[in-house]
Amino acid sequence: MRNNIKTIVLALTTVTAMTGAASAADLGARPYTKAPIAAAPVVNWTGCYIGAGGGGAMTNNDHNETYGPTTFSPIASNASVTSGARGWFGTVQVGCDYQLQNWVVGAFADYDFMDVKGDIGIDGILVPRSTGSQKQDQQWAVGARAGYLIAPQLLTYVSAGYTQAHWKSTALTSLAFPGGTASLGGATKGGWFIGAGDEYALTGFLPGLFWKTEYRYSEFDRADVVINYTGFGGPATGFGETQKFREHSVRSELVYRFNWGAPLVAKY
């Protein structure tokens, strides 16, 4: 009897061990599970903003002497001369953007405090061999931009709009007649601009803080400027100069965005 019980217990133990091994074999190896990838931070590009920064600018002024107090007729014998100017500026900006999935569109306005200057020479037959330093002291622009989010935090965009700049009056020194004095009048000129840039969300520093860098090309309408000249024969009237300005600038600024509306999730 005792031997029979031992035989039954041994048989049950063997069957249980064989069943467990078969079950383990049927289950196979545990499948590999890839660790989840952290989601990119969500950035809301919809909202209005303010910004401030600075940059550098260079201009070319194509000019030639004219005559006539009302007509400003070009003097054929005086060929067009190009003068250059270089300098720096500070800028402030306001604007609003709206995000449509991966696209961002908006409008803006900015104002530049400028110190862009360069030598200008007049070597015409009416105002002989005079030189001075011409300075651009301010500029403003209004425009629109459209961009694409190549990453949740990085926007690349193009811009375009209207711009207006001011040049101060310029004191001229006459080299041919040391006793003569001359001045080139100041002027405000309007024109257009196009630009391209990038803007990056600095979410790791402060929510709502962005960093923007933009190249801008501006071209201003050709305009006439009066030249006042006094030589040995007394004051002369009707002298002028026609000018055409072209400007290249690079600006970089920090932007703080006041978000409104629900954040949109772009698709990449």
CATH of the domain at 208: 2.40.160.20
Question: Is 266 within the bounds of a domain?
Answer: no
**pLDDT of amino acid 12:** 43
Alpha carbon distance 257, 218 (integer Å):
26
Alpha carbon distance 198, 189 (integer Å):
28
Q: Are 82 and 68 in contact (CB under 8 A)?
A: no
Does residue 21 come out as left (phi exceeding 0), alpha (psi in the -120 to 50 range) or beta? alpha
Question: Is 122 within the bounds of a domain?
Answer: yes
> For the chain, which residues score pLDDT lower than 50?
2, 5, 8-13, 15-28, 35, 37-40, 76-77, 262, 265, 268
Report the amino acid identity of residue 121.
G
Question: Is 179 within the bounds of a domain?
Answer: yes
Question: Is 183 within the bounds of a domain?
Answer: yes
| Residue 116: how many other CB atoms lie within 10 Å | 23
Tokens of 234: 């007394």
Alpha carbon distance 50, 111 (integer Å):
12
**pLDDT of amino acid 190:** 96
**pLDDT of amino acid 25:** 45
Question: Is 234 within the bounds of a domain?
Answer: yes
Find the radius of gyration of the CA atoms of the chain. Answer: 36
Question: Is 107 within the bounds of a domain?
Answer: yes
Q: Are 228 and 217 in contact (CB under 8 A)?
A: no
Question: Is 231 within the bounds of a domain?
Answer: yes
Report the amino acid identity of residue 115.
D
Tell me the whole-structure pTM to 2 decimals. 0.75
**pLDDT of amino acid 220:** 96
Domain hosting 125: range is: 47-259
**pLDDT of amino acid 261:** 53
| Residue 258: how many other CB atoms lie within 10 Å | 10
Question: Is 119 within the bounds of a domain?
Answer: yes
Number of structural domains in the chain: 1
**pLDDT of amino acid 182:** 76
